[in-house]
Amino acid sequence: MSQSADVIVIGAGIIGGACADALAARGLQVTVIEQDAIGSGATAAGMGHLVAMDDNAEELALSSWSIRLWNEFVDEHPHSHEYSRCGTIWVASDEEELAAAQAKGSNMRAHGLQCELLDARALYEREPALRPGLAGGLLVGGDGLVYPPKSARILLDRARSRGAQLVAGAVAAIEDRAVLLRDGSRLHADSIVLAAGARCTELLPALPLQAKKGHLAITDRYPGFIRHQLVELGYIKSAHAASGDSVAFNLQPRPTGQILIGSSRQFNASLDAEPAMLSRMLRHAASFVPQLAGLNVLRCWTGLRAASPDGLPLIGPWPARRGLWLATGHEGLGITTSLATAQLLAAQMTDGSVPIPLQPYLPQRFMLAPSNHV
């Protein structure tokens, strides 16, 4: 193994894997350092929903571009990613939410996404298990899902086939163009990419990131129980609440026939599963799909999302330290936006060009006084 590389990537989650792959594709000598198994952090905990989100123009630009990149990527080996182009139905409970669905559809269509507004009859034709009395929904046909740890592994394998090296170890400190590992060894590189998810603040405490915990549960196999990823339109309000605990109806048909049930949000860095939060989440899901209450749940778990103050990721140089680059803060959308993140980062590091403006994601937007941010 070489002790010096062009770039060191800290973390082999979906973001580190995608960045390593994109940088190696540009001919850089990349070393990835991972303290645990590949894709074992938030990447293993996430739902793997590839979803175009439009809370703001920047989020929609990044997520819709990234979904296009995913479509090309998974087309090579869809089964290896456990990919399904299931589409998303944003479920509208009442006329007010249906109006919101209509506006959402117009916005998404303007970005080239394929959307269909569903009245109540069309909604129940597609998803008969939903509770009666809903107003309709918006079907976004290009959304899909993957099994994220497998996709992270595929990205890492491709990076390695392009010359990247993987080092098993824990980074204890980021230094000037080097990292110190917990075993006392040191690796050097011109550039260091911090892609350690919710753990980034352990290495760079000045980062304005907070851990947002989420619970998920998965059932036994019930093929055909639902066909699309189902998300309540109210999700948008709860997902971006600045404080407080929330649950939202978010149901996914895994290609195995299992049903993945989400999701919750809490500002909490402990990974302990909390029965009260789980039960609140499951009861809420069953209020949308009553037959869920009769299904057998096999497993529940939690994960930590790295949340930034404005909800957008941090992609680019961290001006307070020479040679340090960030690819983090993806909150609940990092699987979706991983591939575009990697392209944005690699383009900045190699003077390349990208099809969307990169300014909204630059970490420097959170720099107040440089002396506070080393």
Ligand X SMILES: Cc1cc2nc3c(=O)[nH]c(=O)nc-3n(C[C@H](O)[C@H](O)[C@H](O)COP(=O)(O)OP(=O)(O)OC[C@H]3O[C@@H](n4cnc5c(N)ncnc54)[C@H](O)[C@@H]3O)c2cc1C
Give the binding site for ligand X (CB under 6 A): 10-16, 33-36, 40-43, 45-49, 170-171, 195-199, 203, 214, 216, 263, 303-305, 328, 330, 332-336
For ligand X, which is the closer residue by CB, 186 or 290? 186
CB of 12 vs ligand X, minimal distance in Å: 5
Burial label, 12 (beta-carbon count in 10 A; 0-12, 13-18, 19+): buried
Buried b (16+ CB within 10 A) or exposed e, 33-44: bbbeebbebbbb
Nearest 10 degrees: Cα torsion 40, 216, 292, 105: -100
CB of 330 vs ligand X, minimal distance in Å: 4
For ligand X, which is the closer residue by CB, 67 or 135? 67
Buried b (16+ CB within 10 A) or exposed e, 90-109: bbbbeeebbebbeebbeebe
The Cα 264–Cα 282 span in angstroms is 10
CB of 234 vs ligand X, minimal distance in Å: 17
DSSP string computed for 226-250:
--SEEEETTHHHHHT-SSS-EEEEE
For ligand X, which is the closer residue by CB, 327 or 349? 327
CB of 219 vs ligand X, minimal distance in Å: 16
For ligand X, which is the closer residue by CB, 172 or 286? 172
- Phi and psi at residue 260, in whole multiples of 5°? -95, 125
For ligand X, which is the closer residue by CB, 99 or 271? 271
For ligand X, which is the closer residue by CB, 98 or 217? 217
Question: Is 167 strand, coil or helix?
Answer: strand
CB of 360 vs ligand X, minimal distance in Å: 17
For ligand X, which is the closer residue by CB, 31 or 328? 328
CB of 13 vs ligand X, minimal distance in Å: 2
The Cα 98–Cα 95 span in angstroms is 5
The Cα 74–Cα 77 span in angstroms is 5
Question: Is 365 strand, coil or helix?
Answer: helix
CB of 270 vs ligand X, minimal distance in Å: 13
Please state whether beta strands 144-145 and 4-10 pair in parallel, antiparallel, or not at all (unpaired). Answer: unpaired
Under 8 Å between Cβ of 252 and 49: yes
CB of 148 vs ligand X, minimal distance in Å: 6
For ligand X, which is the closer residue by CB, 286 or 300? 300
Q: What share of the chain is helix, strand, coil (3-state, %, to 5)?
A: 35, 30, 35
